[in-house]
Amino acid sequence: MLPNEAGISRRALLSMIGTAAGSAVMYGAMSKMGLAQESTWTGRLDLQGDPKGASVLILGAGLAGMTAAFELRNAGYTVKVLEYRKKAGGRCWTLRSGDTYTELGGFTQQVDFAEGNYINPGPWRIPSDHFAVLDYCKRFGVELEPFQQVNYNAYVHDTNAFDGKPQRFKEIDADFRGGVSELLAKVADQGMLDQMVTEEDAEILVSALKGWGVLDDDLEYVTGEASSSHRGWKVPEGGGTTGKPVPSEITPLSVILQSGLWSKISGGHHLHMQTTMFQPKGGMDMVARGFEGEVGDLITYGAKVTRIENTETGVRATWIPSEGEGEETVEEADYCICTIPFSVLGQIETNFSSRMTGIIQNMPYYSATKVGLEFKRRFWEEDEHIYGGISYTNLPISQISYPSTGYFSDGPGVLLGAYVWGAYSYQFNALPGEQRVEKALEYGAQIHPQYHDEFKTGVGVGWHRVPWSLGCFGQWKDRDADYMDACQMDGRTLMAGEHISYLPAWMEGAILSSIDAVKRLHETVTAT
């Protein structure tokens, strides 16, 4: 027996739960044991103390910049925001009918979606544990609706498995769970876990696995009513004289293991992707609009910052119009919160310390591409009964996300037809927008044959070509060595944004980073 002879150790139990049930179940157990934490959001800011007439210049009107503007003005600071674009939001961005988007290289795309349809090139979902985002949405009247992350009727797909035919998520999930449960239950029942669990715990574990994996009395996962009630029937339950269902054939665990599809069913287990998730009604930029409604009067739009200087008594920023020609304008303030992505900031003239400059210039940004595809009808609902959720594939497009709104509506619908990462994204980014759309159609048709007949229009965004971010999100090459130094005030400038957080790429990370910067700036001002 292990040292904890009274029962299974916490570490061993968590390991076993994580292996058999997945990360979602393990995280729930960890939470009850006090070993896991959620967002660091502790409630709305209440900054006490006199700001003494201090002024703050904020660079960038993404969510981090607008959070800082909102909180600092509420605390009595004089605030001004400079924003490169003609609209606020940064990567919190939505493309709709009539929009025009031009990226680096001169690629220009006209969005021709039907009225009411849209695609979110950046953030597209809000986890229920991102408390700061949710609270600001509530405060600013941003209406939210459920986002369907996991749909058991969607597909998992691998070109090297099942002759390249997509499989229903529920079938692979049920069969993998049943097969793993059978193995573990038999091991426990035969006393082979005696050094990990007590006899009583083993009996409980077997009983739990029998129910969780829908095993029979012989602890086997077999074709029949029990397995079909989870994975789906060959002929579903009906009524009257023809209502008797016919069970579907299970797929052996060895086949699923060899297929690799087991790796595609755990996305919804991740802490930040667990049900329930949310999205704003009408597009993700509704969140940005909520902030903008509070601080829009503080923002100077179309301002391209060209130089940032810490002075002995404050900060000076020089900017020119981001479009067209115009004279340089200089803004001065006592302090600065800079939310410009390091990918862009590294190209701006500054007099930051050599340490800060080195961190900025050495941070790479992750590459990603998104493609929105509009089809003449919602064939995924009408033909395949998929309502929201995501299908996963080993093809370069990575996944297909179905809209979590407008269910059962007639007329065109928009899919996220590709969310491309890594090496494939560099290949997509090198293509003009219309060719990205063509590639998404080519690959997606291997999962949905209706693609070519039903296609209407599309748009593709490669994040390394987006002028105001030059990448999807910041990647720390050595977070332990560099992160805390990047958080420190350099002269009179503080950094904020998703890259200054442990939640990169998420809106929550940007907001929490900004709140932390605001608190530290306020402590500095009130202590002076």
Show me where the domains of the chain are located: 1-37, 55-85+289-364+476-527, 95-154+275-283+366-465, 169-252
Quickly count: other Cβ atoms within 10 Å of residue 362's Cβ.
Answer: 13
In the predicted model, is pLDDT for residue 5 greater than 90? no
pTM value? Answer: 0.90
> DSSP secondary structure string, 179-213?
HHHHHHHHHHHTTTTTTTS-HHHHHHHHHHHHHHT
Q: Which helix (H) or strand (E) holds 156?
A: strand 155-157
Nearest alpha carbon to residue 215 among 226, 199, 225: 226
In the predicted model, is pLDDT for residue 95 greater than 90? yes
In the predicted model, is pLDDT for residue 25 greater than 60? no
Q: Report which of residues 221 and 20 the model is more confident about.
A: 221
Per-residue pLDDT of 243-286, as tens digits, reads 999 999 999 999 999 999 999 999 899 999 999 999 999 999 99
pLDDT at position 427 is: 96
What number is the average pLDDT over the span 274-299? 97
Q: What is the CATH topology of the domain spanning 55-85+289-364+476-527?
A: FAD/NAD(P)-binding domain (3.50.50)
Encoded tokens for 298: 């503080």
pLDDT at position 50 is: 94
pLDDT at position 457 is: 98
Q: Report which of residues 22 and 448 the model is more confident about.
A: 448
Per-residue pLDDT of 135-145, as tens digits, reads 999 999 999 99
| E strand intervals along 334-452 | 335-338, 349-350, 368-375, 389-393, 399-402, 413-421
pLDDT at position 38 is: 63
Q: What is the CATH topology of the domain spanning 95-154+275-283+366-465?
A: Polyamine Oxidase; Chain A, domain 2 (3.90.660)
Mean per-residue pLDDT over the chain, rounded? 92
pLDDT at position 255 is: 97
**What number does CATH give the domain 169-252?**
1.20.1440.240
Q: Report which of residues 32 and 243 the model is more confident about.
A: 243
pLDDT at position 13 is: 46
Q: What type of residue sits at position 117?
A: N
